[in-house]
Structure 1
């Protein structure tokens, strides 16, 4: 599962930018454009075999979780538009696939809503020509020229999905907070105030059916960026098991086995994403995120004081992975959903 191409690999391109991404000297748009320009963003689009794009995201996240995370968001926006009505596909599909148009996935609230854990925060007002208002608590890739894919409740109470540009009238991009890491992903909150969503901006009028089709890809590609960053930390930890590091050999072996198991399941499930039972998808996503957090902690422990320096790669991975337990679906949500299958 690698994205080897002629010349530099995608991973090598991202590696050269990782430090600047972490320091806020650049953002992830160039990484998205690089992957899109190589024709990799649309790999397997529309099918159930997503091994190639999972490999790309894993390779990118191994060098920078920020870039891997933004790439996941871009691919998900592409997945949504691929399943949209003809007018939305014709207008945006090629631009998203090339990386020329950056996509925002704001679908977390929909997945949470359909799990029975909350209401849709965006609502259309039929008395106001169906204009949409409400908050989006968190989204990434939010640049002024981005395309936002979002769920909302129609005037009839049914869930829908629409698209709108971030610079459209009524869309407010809130000031981005200072984050522990991942600042280059342009992650922030938004608010809609009477945003027009015409018929030709509608992705689907059947939110439950739509989310059922995209959720396997959503979770598996999130798993890919978890295994990517975890793999780098496992490898770095494995190089530091001499001297005092020998005290951690058992912990390292267990962690290495967990990472190998997650990667093996990822390869298996991405071969036919829609054939994987939901509980297995949830369990893998949870296992991969927990493994990434534990792997970056072990790497940091074995690196010692040098890994505490702010701009050290070890420190960066530790800070990046700290986001995974709260990234939607959060560790709490995943655990709750798994409990429903017990």
Structure 2
């Protein structure tokens, strides 16, 4: 079994997540604890420069950290992705006062950071219009009234969050990205969405009705150029969820009884080889910056990784056999991890941008090139 540097979570954290993984998937009992625990373990500081309070390293190190959490719980990794992606926006923003204001609490896990930019990523690919609007309130365009709704955002911790969202301007200026704090008048969080899994991820809808912010809360005045720069990290960090879940499912298949293992070993080896190759290509592209100009190459990797997760989860189920279809059994009164991983794997294709959206994007591009 290949060991990956990113697998080594602090023992206390790994144990806590393992004990609560089933609950984090099926209800919101421990939803409030995920961000503080990941923060105390120092995970949000991975890939953040020392000068800004981080642990140093690269975006690839952060992807590996998300993968190491996804091995134990995809709900926890999903929250980690939301938090780390928001942190990434602050790192890539030119607004230094905004960084100074929010980064310390985000890195410590005292405040949740949420990326409401899924709609904006789809807008960037011309899949849907922006669902939020910013109206200037003064001649200098320094204050804005924000309105609109986003139907699905993860990591909206009731205990406090700040969310990134893109707004159409309607005054001739390009769409802008703001950091919107939870306690701003006019900001409302819905009840948690009634998900079939990942229910501990603080996923809810957000409505803005006459919320007012000034330009000190601007992540970037030009959403399109910012998103093009930020998308490789947004998607790369998201791929960490797939990488970790696939590794764990393959380890589970690998760890089954000798006869079962003998029957599945060729498939396990082939998938592990493919997974390592895809991760290698992802890390190379994120590091070199080639995905900024060639997003299609990264879209293809995201699609290929989702296929590996799907195949790995099926091997996990085959290895578990009939007992994998029992909620729990006499020799294992604990919850059924195989079933949880199957539910988690079912989520991978629909995370925004979904596989359907990416595939239609690629097809559009190929038609364009053919023309």
Q: TM-score, normalised by structure 1?
A: 0.90
Asked if 1:322 corresponds to 2:346, the answer is yes
Greater shift, 48-57 or 85-94, is seen at: 48-57
Looking at structure 1, the residues matched to 179 and 319 of structure 2 have their Cα atoms a distance apart, in angstroms, of: 46
Deviation at 1:125, TM superposition (A): 3.0
Q: 1:98 to 1:307 in 2, by over 3 A?
A: same
Looking at structure 2, the residues matched to 230 and 214 of structure 1 have their Cα atoms a distance apart, in angstroms, of: 25
Kept in 1, the 8 Å contact 2:71–2:244? The answer is: yes
Kept in 2, the 8 Å contact 1:81–1:203? The answer is: yes
Looking at structure 2, the residues matched to 152 and 48 of structure 1 have their Cα atoms a distance apart, in angstroms, of: 32
Asked if 1:305 corresponds to 2:322, the answer is yes
Match of 2:53 in 1: none
1:288 aligned to 273, 290, 305, which one? 305
Q: Which deviations, in whole Å up to 9, do the C-alpha atoms of 1:179-200 show, x marking residues without a partner?
A: 2210000112121111112222
Match of 1:18 in 2: 21
1:34 aligned to 23, 33, 37, which one? 37
Asked if 1:334 corresponds to 2:348, the answer is no
Looking at structure 1, the residues matched to 76 and 244 of structure 2 have their Cα atoms a distance apart, in angstroms, of: 11
Kept in 1, the 8 Å contact 2:179–2:217? The answer is: yes
SS in 1 for 2:44: coil
Match of 2:81 in 1: 72
Larger radius of gyration: 2
SS in 2 for 1:184: coil
Match of 2:156 in 1: 142
Looking at structure 2, the residues matched to 273 and 64 of structure 1 have their Cα atoms a distance apart, in angstroms, of: 30
Asked if 1:59 corresponds to 2:68, the answer is yes
Q: 1:40 to 1:242 in 2, by over 3 A?
A: closer
Match of 2:369 in 1: none
- Give the number of equivalent residue pairs: 340
Kept in 2, the 8 Å contact 1:27–1:186? The answer is: no
Deviation at 1:304, TM superposition (A): 2.3
1:211 aligned to 202, 205, 227, which one? 227
Write out aligned runs for 1:228-307 (5 A).
228-240=244-256, 243=259, 248-270=264-286, 272=287, 274-276=289-291, 277-307=294-324
Deviation at 1:258, TM superposition (A): 2.5
Looking at structure 2, the residues matched to 86 and 51 of structure 1 have their Cα atoms a distance apart, in angstroms, of: 24
Deviation at 1:335, TM superposition (A): 1.2
Kept in 2, the 8 Å contact 1:35–1:41? The answer is: yes
Kept in 2, the 8 Å contact 1:27–1:185? The answer is: no
Write out aligned runs for 1:18-167 (5 A).
18-24=21-27, 26-45=29-48, 49-84=58-93, 85-126=95-136, 130-144=144-158, 145-157=160-172, 158-167=174-183
Deviation at 1:156, TM superposition (A): 1.7
Asked if 1:2 corresponds to 2:16, the answer is no
Kept in 2, the 8 Å contact 1:28–1:70? The answer is: no
Q: TM-score, normalised by structure 2?
A: 0.83
